[in-house]
C-alpha cells in the first residue's frame, strides 16, 4: 500500500487514501516519488474541464527514483533518478515518424488504463502519471533519466512547466535575440516562458497578469515590463513595443479573453502561441477580416513541441550554466495532506508552482 491523492469524482476535493500498487508489468517502471508540482492541468482534471476516468490519482509533473522495472525495460534501472514524462511517445506512429513526438497518437494511452486498486476497485493514473503518490507506475518512456547531481525536488518542475514553457519559446515559436515577447499569464508555465525568452535575448519582454502581486515575480524571471490585465492591457503592451505590439505573444491561461488579449497585443505579422489548456466549451472568435488584415500566425502549443529525451538534457545545460533557475519557479511547498489547499491557492492566482514533497529526506 502507498498513500496517494485520489480524485473520486470530478468537482470534488481530493482524498488522501491508501492504494494497492502492483509491481510493474512488462515495459513498466515503478518510481518512488520525491516531489511533484501542482499544475493548472491538475485543477482542470479535478474540476472536469479535462476528461479523466475516475477514481484517479492526479499529478503529472514529478521526479523520483526508480524502485523496480518490469520485463523488457532497458532505458532505466533501479536507483536511477528520473522525471516523469506525462506524454510518452510511442516512437512508431505517423506523428513520431514525422519527428513530432509531442503529437503522438498513443501518448495518452496509459491514462485510460487502470494501474492500481482502491478498495478493490480499478484506479486510473491521471495523464498516465499519477504523480501525487508516494510511488507510481509509468510506461518505460514515461520515466526520463537525469543526472544524480540534479536535486529531485527541483527537477520535478521540468516535467511540465519548464518543458512546456521553455519549449514554446525554443521550439514552437523559435524566438530570436532582439525580438519582443509578451507573456499572458504568469504561473509556472508563464514564468518558464519568461526565463526562456531572457535566455535567447528577447527584448522587451512584457508580462501580463491579473494579479499585481506577480509583478516582482515576473521581473525576477526576466520580464522587463509588467502590465496588469484589463481593458487597456493590449494598448500598454503596444506602448512597450514601439507602438506595434510584440513579435511573439504567448498565452498561458487557456481562456477566450486571454487568447484575444494575446492576439491584440501582438504586431501585424506576429506570432500568437496558445500554451494554456482551455475548455472544449470555450470558443474563441475572430472575424474573417482581422485574420486577413493582421497577417498574424495563431498556433497551439502542446507540451512545448518537446521531445523530453532530447530537450531535458538541453534544459539541464541551461540550469548548469546558471541561465535557468528551477528553484525560482517553486513559490511554496506542501505535503500530500495539503494538496487541496495548494489547489485553492492556485485557483486564487497566488504564487507559481507549489511543490508536493513526498520524501523530504531525499
Question: 171-216: per-residue pLDDT in tens?
Answer: 999 999 999 999 999 999 999 999 999 999 999 999 999 999 999 9
Across all residues in the chain, what is the average pLDDT?
Answer: 95
Question: 332-357: per-residue pLDDT in tens?
Answer: 999 999 999 999 988 888 878 999 99
Q: Are strands 28-37 and 353-357 parallel, antiparallel or unpaired?
A: antiparallel
Q: Are strands 246-251 and 225-228 parallel, antiparallel or unpaired?
A: unpaired
Domain 2-159+326-357 has CATH 3.90.180.10: yes
Supply the DSSP symbol for 129: T
**For the chain, how far is it from start to end, CA to CA, in angstroms?**
20
> What percentage of the chain has pLDDT greater than the value 70?
99
- Residue of 145, 150, 125 whose CA lies nearest to 60: 125
Supply the DSSP symbol for 123: E
Predicted TM-score (pTM) of the model is: 0.94
Quick one: CA torsion of 86, 129, 82, 18, rounded to 10 degrees?
A: 170
| pLDDT surpassing 60 at residue 313 | yes
Question: 19-41: per-residue pLDDT in tens?
Answer: 999 999 999 999 999 999 999 89
Overall average pLDDT of the 240-244 stretch? 96
Give the Cα-Cα-Cα angle 111, 156, 222 (nearest 5 degrees): 120
- pLDDT at 359 (0 to 100): 66
| pLDDT surpassing 80 at residue 234 | yes
In Å, how far from its chain's centre is CA 304? 9
Best CATH choice for the domain 165-302 from the list 3.60.110.10, 3.40.50.720, 3.40.50.1820, 3.40.50.1440: 3.40.50.720
Least trusted range by pLDDT, from 39-53, 225-239, 247-261, 308-322: 39-53
- pLDDT at 219 (0 to 100): 97
Q: Are strands 330-334 and 28-37 parallel, antiparallel or unpaired?
A: unpaired
| pLDDT surpassing 70 at residue 361 | no
- pLDDT at 129 (0 to 100): 97
| pLDDT surpassing 60 at residue 360 | no
Task: Return the CA Rg of the chain.
Answer: 20
Separation of alpha carbons 339 and 343, rounded Å: 6
- Residue of 27, 28, 22, 21 whose CA lies nearest to 6: 21
- pLDDT at 48 (0 to 100): 87
Q: How is the chain split into domains, by residue range? A: 2-159+326-357, 165-302
**One-character DSSP codes across 232-294:** THHHHHHHHTTTT-EEEEEE-S--HHHHHHHHHHEEEEEEEEE-S---TT------HHHHHHH
Give the Cα-Cα-Cα angle 173, 101, 201 (nearest 5 degrees): 25
Question: 85-103: per-residue pLDDT in tens?
Answer: 999 999 999 999 999 999 9
| pLDDT surpassing 60 at residue 362 | no
Overall average pLDDT of the 6-25 stretch? 95
2-159+326-357 and 165-302, same CATH topology? no
Amino acid at each position: 500500500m502507498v498513500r496517494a491523492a485520489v480524485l473520486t469524482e470530478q468537482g470534488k476535493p481530493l482524498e488522501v487514501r491508501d492504494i494497492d500498487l502492483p509491481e510493474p508489468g512488462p515495459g513498466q517502471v515503478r518510481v518512488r516519488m520525491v516531489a511533484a508540482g501542482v499544475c493548472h492541468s491538475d485543477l482542470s482534471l479535478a474540476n472536469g474541464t479535462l476528461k479523466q476516468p475516475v477514481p484517479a490519482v492526479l499529478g503529472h509533473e514529478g521526479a523520483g527514483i526508480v524502485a523496480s522495472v518490469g520485463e523488457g525495460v532497458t532505458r532505466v534501472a533501479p536507483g536511477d533518478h528520473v522525471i516523469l514524462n506525462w506524454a510518452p511517445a510511442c516512437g512508431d506512429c505517423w506523428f513520431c515518424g514525422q519527428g513530432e513526438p509531442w503529437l503522438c497518437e498513443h501518448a495518452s494511452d496509459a491514462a485510460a488504463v487502470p494501474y492500481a486498486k482502491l478498495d478493490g476497485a480499478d484506479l486510473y493514473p491521471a495523464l498516465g502519471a499519477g504523480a501525487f503518490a508516494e510511488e507510481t507506475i509509468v510506461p518505460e518512456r514515461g520515466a526520463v533519466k537525469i543526472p544524480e547531481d540534479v536535486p529531485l525536488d527541483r527537477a520535478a518542475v521540468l516535467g511540465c512547466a519548464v518543458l512546456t514553457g521553455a519549449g514554446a519559446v525554443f521550439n514552437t515559436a523559435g524566438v530570436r535575440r532582439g525580438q519582443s515577447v509578451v507573456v499572458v499569464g504568469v504561473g509556472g508555465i508563464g514564468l518558464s516562458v519568461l526565463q526562456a525568452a531572457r535566455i535567447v535575448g528577447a527584448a522587451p519582454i512584457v508580462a501580463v497578469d491579473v494579479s499585481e502581486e506577480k509583478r516582482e515575480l515576473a521581473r525576477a524571471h526576466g520580464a522587463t515590463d509588467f502590465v496588469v490585465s484589463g481593458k487597456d492591457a493590449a494598448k500598454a503592451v503596444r506602448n512597450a513595443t514601439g507602438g506595434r505590439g510584440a513579435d511573439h505573444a504567448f498565452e498561458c491561461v487557456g481562456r477566450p479573453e486571454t487568447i484575444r488579449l494575446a492576439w491584440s497585443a501582438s504586431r501585424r505579422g506576429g506570432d500568437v502561441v496558445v500554451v494554456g489548456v482551455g475548455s472544449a466549451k470555450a470558443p474563441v472568435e475572430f472575424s474573417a477580416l482581422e485574420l486577413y488584415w493582421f497577417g498574424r500566425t495563431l498556433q497551439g502549443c502542446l507540451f512545448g513541441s518537446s521531445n523530453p529525451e532530447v530537450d531535458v538534457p538541453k534544459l539541464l545545460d541551461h540550469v548548469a550554466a546558471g541561465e535557468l533557475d528551477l528553484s525560482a519557479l517553486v513559490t511554496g511547498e506542501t505535503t500530500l495532506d495539503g494538496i487541496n489547499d495548494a489547489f485553492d491557492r492556485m485557483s486564487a492566482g497566488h504564487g507559481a508552482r507549489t511543490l508536493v514533497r513526498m520524501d523530504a529526506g531525499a
